[in-house]
Amino acid sequence: MSGVEALFQPFTLGDLTLRNRIVMPAMTRHRSPDNVPGDDVGDYYERRAASAGLIVTEGTCVNHPAANAYEKVPFFYGEESLAGWKRVVDAVHSVGGRIMPQLWHTGSARHPGASPDPSVPAFTPSGLTQKLEPGCHEMTGRDIRDVIDAFAIAAADAVRLGFDGVEVHGAHGYLIDEFFWERSNRRTDHYGGSIANRARFAAEIVAAIRERVGPDFPIILRWSQWKQQDYRAQLVTDPASLEAFLDPLVAAGVDIFDCSTRRYYQPEFPGSDLNLAGWVKRLTGKPTITVGNVSLDSDFVSGNDTRVTFQAAKTGSLDNLLERLAADEFDLVAVGRALLANPDWADLVRTGRMAALKPFEKEMLRQLY
């Protein structure tokens, strides 16, 4: 398979078929007043769904009092918000696209005064803040069950609204990821300790979703080694530990792993060129999504490597990506900033018009278009 052909092969998983291997990943936009996605949000996704294979929505909060941390992020509960999401689904389907909501609980990112109830503190596995200091509510067994139920109910609503699957946000230092990471999860019960125990919370969320949605509705889990508070963090440092982490998640019912890395082209472990998505696919046999600096020539963070700082970025080569995709290292490719800059990114790449791609500029984050 030569050129960009590999990127434009259909992808099928059960009853789900995507027109190509291009995924729009979740990118928080803060454009939903009163936490309701409006027509402009639908238009924004529709423009990209006209050519991308799959849209994963921005993070949308499940119905738990501590799930939200930010202004104008959409909720995935309540009559108005769900009606807004139904309009988004219909808009994407009208152009032949496929769409999944990213279900989200922000954990320690929540700050005092955040909606919907300013009196509710952040919930975390061990009561630690993002700086790994005491200051949050340490989750009880009842709290854990409540959050699991919130994710399961949201997934059932996704089925009812006509979504094509769901993605569970287990990355980047938010609640589920805080259970994964030994520095933020210091529990001594069966949700802490070993890497398999630390994966239990996510596995129980996935299993509860599977029970609600049935055997055929696709479930994606997004996860990452890096955290917002520590870009050099690692949950696992070798393939054996990775396998121990993944096994309970596979058993619970994950269909696709969305492996969030900052640079897709970097090997994950010494002695192999495989990236994180490549290793996950090798160990589980499950389809994977790769991401990180696709078709751009620079990273999205400042040089100090300590926090997200979106920078301008020009168009870069796709050669390495295409070679890896053709070699079946991973199955799907998430395109973030380049797709913000170019809603028709897929069409421009498919027709050989790479020179027409606009560079990403930070100002593009301030509007929906």
What local confidence, expressed as pLDDT, does residue 302 receive? 47
DSSP code of 117? Answer: -
Query: What's the whole-number mean pLDDT along residues 356-361?
Result: 90
* Structural domain range at position 349: 5-366
pLDDT at 314: 53
Average pLDDT over residues 41-54: 97
Would you say residue 170 has pLDDT above 60? yes
Strands 54-61, 166-172: pairing kind: unpaired
| DSSP-assigned letter for residue 358 | P
Residue 315 pLDDT exceeds 90? no
Report the pLDDT averaged over residues 11-16.
Answer: 97
Average pLDDT over residues 117-128: 97
Catalytic residue positions? Answer: 174
Share of the chain above pLDDT 70, in %: 94
**Structure confidence at residue 369 (pLDDT):** 82
**Residues with Cβ within 8 Å of residue 71, at least 6 apart in sequence:** 30, 115
* Residue 294 vs residue 74, higher pLDDT: 74
Residue in this structure with the two tokens 């990452």, named with its chain if needed: 224
Please tell me the pTM assigned to this model: 0.95
Average pLDDT over residues 19-40: 97
Instruction: Summarize pLDDT for 240-249 with one digit per residue, the tens.
Output: 999 999 999 9
- DSSP characters for 211-237? HHH-SSS-EEEEEEEEETTBTT--S-S
Pairing of β 16-18 and β 11-13: antiparallel
* Beta bridge partners of residue 290, listed in sequence order: 333
**pLDDT of amino acid 2:** 56
The answer, yes or no, to whether residue 306 has pLDDT greater than 90, is: no
- The pLDDT, as a whole number, for residue 311 is 52
Mean pLDDT throughout 149-155? Answer: 98
Q: Are 169 and 176 in contact (CB under 8 A)?
A: yes
At 304 the pLDDT is 47
| pLDDT of 310 higher than 90 | no
Task: Look at residue 363 in the predicted model and tell me its pLDDT.
Answer: 85
Task: Using a pLDDT cut of 90, give the percent of the chain over it.
Answer: 87
Q: What is the pLDDT of residue 291?
A: 96
Rounded Cα–Cα distance for residues 345 and 338 (Å): 7
**What are 69-92's pLDDT values in tens digits?**
999 999 999 999 999 999 999 999
- Contact, 131 vs 124, CB < 8 A? no
Q: Please give the torsion angle defined by the CA atoms of residues 117, 191, 170 and 265, in that order, rounded to the nearest 10 degrees.
A: 150
pLDDT at 297: 58
Q: Is the pLDDT of residue 39 over 50?
A: yes
Residue 290: name the closest of 312, 320, 315 by CA. Answer: 320
Looking at residue 250, which CATH number applies to its domain? Answer: 3.20.20.70
Condensed to tens digits (0 to 9), the pLDDT of residues 177-218 reads 999 999 999 999 999 999 999 999 999 999 999 999 999 999
Q: What is the pLDDT of residue 224?
A: 98
Question: What is the total count of domains within the chain?
Answer: 1
